[in-house]
Amino acid sequence: MAGAFDAANDATMALGPLAGLAREDFIGAIGLMLRQTATNPDKAFKAAGNFSEDVVKIMTGQSDLAPDPKDKRFMDPAWRFNPFFKAGAQYYLAVQKGVKSYIEDLELDALERDRANFISQIIIDALSPTNSLIGNPTAQKRLVDSGGLSLVKGLKNAYNDMVHNDMMVSQVNKKPFKLGENVATAKGSVVYRDERFELIQYAPTTDKVYAIPQLTIPPQINKMYINDLSPEKSVIKWQTDHGIQPFMISWRNPTDDMGVWGMNEYIESCIKALDVVCDITGIDKVNVSGGCSGGQTMSVLLSKLASMGDTRANAITMMVCVLEPKPGDTEASSLVSHNGIALARQRAAKKGVIEGSSLARGFAWLRPNDLIWNYVINNYLLGEDPPAFDILFWNADATNLSSSLMGDFLELFEANAYAQPGTFDVAGHTLDLTKVTGDMFILGGTTDHITPWRACYRSTQLFGSKNVEFILSQAGHMQAILNPPGNPKAKYWKHSKGKTPADVGEWMKGTEEVAGSWWPYWMEWLHARSGKEVAVPATLGSKAYPPMEAAPGLYVLE
């Protein structure tokens, strides 16, 4: 299941361009393919003829169709040596080849072709013979070897998912993990709480600390402990071990009556968090960071502060966050339409909250091979428990999303508001990132399918900051962030002169490859912008904001 772990790193709910998908977009893409079939029957007949030729070759043993050696579904030797299974794989590959060839032959523009390829691949993935007991040799061997116990266990797993997991196949074994014990273990305390968020201050682990504190703004759709997943992968621990004073917002999991919380309310909460951090540390500057949708929220906050003449935001770190999405960034984003966004906004307006389980289900079906069929095979056909990985545990711990906030995210996306300064009002001001002047550190991941790194790079041109550094990590979506020192395969790219030209191609020409994690380089960058070293505070909190419950707090348990 190592492949499942890698897939999960790239399949967390980031609330990027995919937030605007609606079922009508899927239906529209399927309708386009059907119309093309009806209006171009000659091409349909051509595709059918080519498929028939492949079938004849398969039946006569002359077909050279073979699975991709990297396709984990067909790793069992039976797919190569057993005539029945070999033919089954070849029939499946013939269908896949025929559909791909047919779509390439149609008169479609680039966007329509991306839509057709994306939808057809979802359907083809569902038809894979590996998804059924009769078509999966590994599952059949397991059935015989276990004396039927694998089937019994698989049926039990399926029943548990139907009853206890909202009809979704489980992606993780949650039993080994407990918050505060082996996940989210960094020492600290809640120093502020209201109805929307808790603010956690983490305890120093060094003799001295840097004067300027760090505030992390996490996404609203997942819980904040991705930043403190385990001691060896904890961004928080890395900060405290290097003299940084970290604070982190922990958003409340909203219920129906909290669905009125929109971007305005969340920005108010961020500003309150800044107030508390400044009171506790006695410093009027705060370094801020945000990733995924937390980066989108952070960007609105920075624009709001600039409009108010509030200069407390100092150095800015933005991780795997897209502010200027474009249809060609991913095949899935090609499905997003203005009509679909409008429908999604209407649905959101009728609900108190968008349930986390609903968002997780919709997201999983965008990558069904990795996030559905992979686990169907493991949990049901092989009768295995799902893997026990901490990042999968966190990914399954999704929260609800306020419908008002979802509507704001969709409006920001539709208006391309971050990239169009002075044209969009949000959170009580006119959004304008060109007025944000703090030094910036922006991170992308080379294999990130959710927030593609070239799309992340566009953010380097949106702010008024004179000093913007872009770092490209050799990793996927969450692995790009959770990339601590010690991984022998880790590497990253940075511009040799720290420049971020408008053309990403120009940036690539001037880059140098660096072996290892980007964390030490980021820490050097952060130290240079965190003031002087001072004595460690005697206690957490302050007179006005005394420490309460131990980290990770109460809201993370809801």
Q: What are the residue numbers of the active site?
A: 292
Parallel, antiparallel, or unpaired for β 425-426 and 429-430? antiparallel
- DSSP class of residue 338 equals H
Would you call 167 exposed, middle or buried from its count of C-beta atoms within 10 A (0-12, 13-18, 19+)? exposed
Q: What angle do CA 307, 311, 316 make, to 5 degrees?
A: 100
Any idea which residue has 């040596």 for tokens? 81
Sign of CA dihedral 249, 251, 252, 258: positive
d(Cα 169, Cα 380) in Å, to the nearest integer? 9
* Residue 537 neighbours by CB distance under 10 Å: 16
Helix axes 23-39, 41-59, angle to 10 degrees: 90
Q: How far apart are CA 125 and CA 7, in angstroms?
A: 16
Tokens of 335: 């499905």
Q: Which amino acid does the sequence have at 314? A: N
Q: Residue 287: which residues within 8 A CB-CB, separation 6 or more? A: 212, 213, 214, 215, 314, 315, 316, 317, 526, 529, 530
Residue 243 tokens, joined:
């003299």
CA distance linking residue 398 with residue 410, whole number of Å: 19
Taking 3-state DSSP, the helix, strand and coil percentages for the chain, each rounded to the nearest 5, stand at 50, 15, 40
Cα–Cα distance for residue pair 296/19, rounded to 1 Å: 13
Torsion angle of C-alpha atoms 275, 278, 284, 285, degrees rounded to 10:
-100
Q: Which amino acid, 228?
A: D
- Maximum distance among all Cα pairs of the chain, rounded to whole angstroms: 83
Query: Token pair of 262, please?
Result: 């929109």
Judged by DSSP in three states, 546 sits in coil
Beta-ladder partners of 217: 290
